[in-house]
Copies of this chain bind each other. A is one copy, B any other.
Amino acid sequence: METRVAINVLRDRLKKLEIFRHLSESETALLLENLHYKELRKGNILYREGCYLNKVILLFDGVVKQKKCGSKGKELIIRFAKGGEILGFRSFLTEELACATAEVMEDVKVAYIEGSCLTQLMKSNSNFSMIMMKHVCGELSATQTFILNVAQKTVRERVAEGLVQLKEVFDVDDDCNLKIPLSRRDLANVVGTVPESVIRMLADFKKENLIEVNGRRIRLMNIQKLTRIGSVAM
């Protein structure tokens, strides 16, 4: 499934990403040498929870879900990554085993980057280092907020918030349909519940005219109210 891509096309792509935009020519060149381009289809696994990572994955395009497997086999989706984001950096850096499995949700274009190369760049370019640091800090912040949600909100609140958050991450089309079609199971795994409960909530929201459901297409009709429900301002 590997695809040939001209090196200057890759260079252009790198230059467009916030993370790598500020690298010098020689640094970009170094990156390009240590980079392995690939295209993968839905369902493929980029890496598995428990694996050792010596590469970091740069996502040019597509969507990846990072899921963690709970003790009873129930999975929890801890993050969706889309174009421009990086995967596996934390595991690589701390040299811990990957704490999540990364699975392709929408066909992706990725680059596997040699971890040592990133380390080198961070050591030599303190600005780049800072950018990466901020990245990780941002993720930490999001994760800590996420905890409060799962810990204290009801399923109703979490589903409402989940929908709004999906809108933030993946945007909606002109009709306010979520651009990413998720199975009920995935949606359940995002908000930490079971598919049945998600279905009931969606049915409720439909009755309340907050959403319209058409299979996996969900149209957000009253984002404000959904947000309110999700933030428990009710």
Binding site for B on A (CB under 8 A): 68, 70-72, 74, 76, 78, 89-91, 93-94, 96, 99-100, 119, 122-124, 126, 129-130, 132-134, 136-141, 143-148, 150-153, 192, 231-233
Contacts and interface: CB of A to CB of B under 8 A. Distances in A.
Nearest to A100: B144
A96 B134 CA distance: 11
Contacts of A137: 89-90, 93-94, 136
Contacts of A132: 133
A78 to B, nearest CB: 6
Chain A: interface secondary structure? helix
29 contacts: A68-B144, A68-B148, A70-B153, A71-B231, A71-B232, A72-B152, A78-B147, A89-B137, A90-B140, A90-B141, A91-B141, A93-B137, A94-B134, A94-B141, A99-B141, A99-B144, A99-B145, A119-B130, A122-B126, A122-B130, A132-B133, A133-B136, A136-B136, A136-B137, A139-B140, A140-B140, A140-B143, A143-B147, A152-B192
Contacts of A94: 134, 137-138, 141
Q: Which of A99, A138, A143, A145 has the most CB of B within 10 A?
A: A143
B148 A147 contact: no
